[in-house]
Structures are given as C-alpha cells and as structure tokens.
Amino acid sequence: MASMIKNPSTLGTDPEKDAERWDDAHESEKSHLQSNSTMSRIMDNLCRWGVEARGILPVGLDERVGHPFSKIFFVWFSMNTNILSFSAGTLGPVVFGLGLRDTCLTILFFNLLCCAPPAYIGTWGPKLGMRQMIISRFSFGYYGVILPCIMNLIGMVGFCILNSILGGQALASVSDGDLSWTVGIVVIVIISLLVSFCGYNVLNWYERLAWIPVLITYVIALGVGGKHLFNPPPAEPATAASILSFASTLAGFAITYSSLSSDFTSYFQPNVSSWKLFWAGYLGFLLPIVTLQCLGAAVVVATPFVPSWEEGYSGGDVGGLLHAMLSPVGNFGKFLTVLLSLSVAANIAATFYSFSINIQVFMPFLLGVPRYVFSLVAAAVVVPVSIVGAHRFYDTIVNFLGLIGYWASAYVAIIMIEHLYFRRNDPAAYDKQNWNIPSKLPSGIAALAAGIMSFGIVIPCMHQVWYTGPIGKTAGDIGFEVAFVAAGILYFPFRYMEIRYKGMY
C-alpha cells in the first residue's frame, strides 16, 4: 500500500520477511509517505478522503469497529436483493421443467442448507482479523491457496457478468430502443466501481441503504401484477433428477459466498457474539434469496398467460419482463425499472471489493499495490465479457452456477474440517504472525489432494448441458453434495500425514 507501507515495493518479494515488516507497516498506515511524487500525493489524498487502501494485511485490534450485526446483515441482504436472485428462481420452471410448487420447495429447503456455510465461515473474520483467502492459507498453504483463489476469482467475475447483463437489460428495456444493452452494462459497472473503489466504509454505508428502493419496487410490482400469480397451471410431476439438478444450481448461487465471507467481517471486534453474527449473516442471505427466487418462479410460470409479460420476456430478457410487470403505472414504472437495474450494483460493488483482495493472494508480489487499483482491473475484465455474453444469459447462468458449486463445496468441507477438527475451533491455534511465511504454513498438499481427488467421483455425478455422467443421468446433478462429502473424507488422512511430516502450523 503505497500510502500506508514504508517501501511497499519490497512487500511480497520476500515472504519470509513480510511478517516482520507487517507490524511496522501497520503502524505506518497512520502516516503518509514522505515523497513529493505526484502519485504519492494522489494516494495520500485518497486515504485522507476515506478511500481504503488495505488489501490482505491483517487488521489490527485498534481498527476494529462496532455494530457488526447490522453491518453484515445489510451487506448480504443488499447483495441478494436484486434481479439476479429473481432470475435464479426462473430457472426451475424454464430450464428444469419444474412446477411452481416443486420449484419453491426446492428453493426453500436447499437454501436453508446452502446459506449456512457462508454465514458460519464469516464468524471467523472477527476472531482472526484476516481476509477469507488468507485464512485459507492455514489449510491450503501459501502457494496451494492460489488454486482456490483462481477459482474464486473466476466465480466472482462470473457473478459480476451475470449481474451486469441483467442490469444492462433492465436499463435498456425502459429506453424504447435508444439505449443498448452494451451501454446499460457500462453504466452499471461504473456505478459499482465507484462504490468498491472507496472501500469498506463507503461499501457498508451503500449496502445499508441500497436494498430499500429495490424492495419497494418489488412490492409495487407484486401489487400491480400479483393478480396474475394465482392458480398456476398444473405441471408435470417432478423427477428426482430435475429437482437435484435445480438444487445444484441453487447451491452454486449461495454456497460460493463462503470463499469471501470473512472479507467483510475482519474489521469486527474479536469479542462479538459468533452466534449473533451467524444469525445476522444467515438471515441476510436467506430472506432475500428465498423470497425473490420464489417470486421469480411464480412470475415466469404466469408469463405465458399475460401477453405483455410474454412480449417483454422475449429472448429470456428478465429486465424486459420486470419492466412489463411495472408498465401499468406508466412512466413511474420506467423509473422503478431503472431502480431495479441499479440493484445489481450492490452485488457487483461488494464482489469487486473481494476481487481486489483476492488478486493480492493470487499474486503476492502485488501486496504493496493499493487495493482500489484492482477494482479498476475487475471492471476492465467484466465489461467486455458481459457485452459478449449478454444475449446468451440462460445458457451462461446454468452452466456457470452448476460448475462453481462443485469446487465451492469441496473448499467449504476442507476449511471447516481444518477449523473445527484440527484446530478445535480455537483462534489461538492459528499463528497469525505467520500468515505470510510459506515455511510456517501448511504445505497445502493435503487440501489440494483432497479437493482435486474428490472430482474423481464428482464428475460421474454431474448433469450439465455439455456433460452428463452415468450417475448424474439417473440421479440428477448431485455433484455439489458429493464434492462436500468426498473432499471432507479425503482430507482427514491426507492432513494427518501432512502434520506427521511437516507439523501442524
């Protein structure tokens, strides 16, 4: 961090010395580099204006803040009170052929399960004061964590792309052809970039407020179009394969937050109640996800019987569908659609924030670069890919959510077993001073072996558009469940051997 760390260019070049430098770096965060260069002055001014430069450096006790329960609740609540949650619910009827009742029951019960891991893992942040992928080094090692970090970066970029597409669609739908999806995507990403660039404090302020207009808009849409949602048409009996395949997609939606949970809780005081923090996070996930996914399912089931909705939804345009729902209130409906389009910014901004942190884990030699620089990188990646994929939304979302659910389940199993069993749920078992010293961390071989080898049984259990395994063909997609169990079982013997030959660390 140029404005926070003396001689930041040396950080990340010699990991063995970084931990010793960290104490001095932490103290020097309160001062500025004594330099007359233009770049240094710009960085100094950004820090004075409240822009957070901290990346993966652990958070000192003197910087921990209060009111954690409302903060973490609104972070997750706003991130999921958006169009993407609504669109994920439409997948049950549209892609997997489920009726409304079966779709909603699947949404409810699998989200009750899948929202628990990220809420629980987020309780580690206050105890350790470290970001999520730094905590993961105590399972995967300094170098081994690069692989889950890459997968996490891919997942975050994927979610940003999906949100950008939906926001761009919604903005374009109110312009009567004067605004393209491309321009809409750029507008959404720029707004998200501004919030993530500023960092933790501004992000928390934004997330505390962002959900309010979105919720009001959904309530109005329900009031205007709710009469069409009664008496859904009878559906074909659901098969276990279709339910489990839809559930796999839902798992990819919720459980993947586990890989960034502590990014938003590492600033909390270590004496906060873990139970209260868990419930604040759990409800922040569960309430908007279940409600909006069920609403999306109900609306898409009714769409063929409402001509204006069907026209707006042409080509799988979820933004156009929501605009059609709100069209009875005239120009005010256009304004509400614009608010819905901006709802995705809460998710993208928070994801950009975690993206900027993960980059430093992926490439440790960039430790001295201020965090906000990588928010610019994230935006530069998301915009062109979103534009290219904008017209194949349903193919993109189904393939993407299904795939990332597999690795996320294996990752969750490994770090939870490490934390609960090998480290006895004891923060003192983590030698936090060694967070950046490769030789004082696990080798990561056990975690990588367990995660990679679990795919030997996961692959036959897949049921994707591009591949269906022999087990998945008859049972449906049970890959995320199998990944969790297989990785967890394999990790025990591998970790015991690693401890025997290298030590606990």
Structure tokens at 324: 């059609």
Measure the CA–CA gap between 205 and 417, rounded to whole angstroms.
34
* The total number of residues written for the chain in this structure: 505
Residue 4 lies in a domain: no
pLDDT for position 213: 92
Angle at 306 between CA 290 and CA 315, to 5 degrees: 75
Nearest residue to 358 via CA among 146, 203, 162: 146
User: Could you tell me the pTM of the whole model?
Assistant: 0.89
Its sign, for the CA torsion 468, 472, 478, 480, is: negative
The answer as to whether 211 is a domain residue is yes
CATH of residue 411: 1.10.4160.10
Q: How many domains does the chain have?
A: 1
Spell out a b/e string for 20-47, using b for 16 or more CB atoms within 10 Å of the CB, else e. ebbeebbebbeebbeeeeeeeeebbebb
Residue 412 lies in a domain: yes
**What is the domain extent for residue 421?**
69-502
With DSSP H G I counted as helix, E B as strand and the rest as coil, what are the percentages for the chain, rounded to 5?
Answer: 75, 0, 25
Question: Along the 505 residues of the chain, how does pLDDT read in single tens digits?
Answer: 333 344 443 444 454 454 444 444 444 444 433 444 665 676 666 666 667 777 888 988 888 877 789 999 999 999 999 998 999 999 999 988 899 999 999 999 999 999 999 999 999 999 999 999 999 999 999 999 999 999 999 889 888 988 888 888 888 888 776 777 788 888 899 999 999 988 888 898 999 999 999 999 999 999 998 888 888 888 788 888 889 989 988 988 899 999 999 999 999 999 999 999 999 999 999 999 999 999 999 999 999 999 999 998 887 788 888 889 998 988 898 899 888 888 899 999 999 999 999 999 998 888 878 888 888 999 998 888 888 766 666 566 666 766 788 999 999 999 999 999 999 999 999 998 999 999 999 999 999 999 999 999 999 998 876 788 999 888 888 988 999 999 999 999 999 999 998 877 8
Domain presence at residue 8: no
Determine, yes or no, domain membership for 227.
Answer: yes
In a domain, 472, yes or no: yes
Does 30 map to a domain? no
Flag whether 48 is in a domain: no
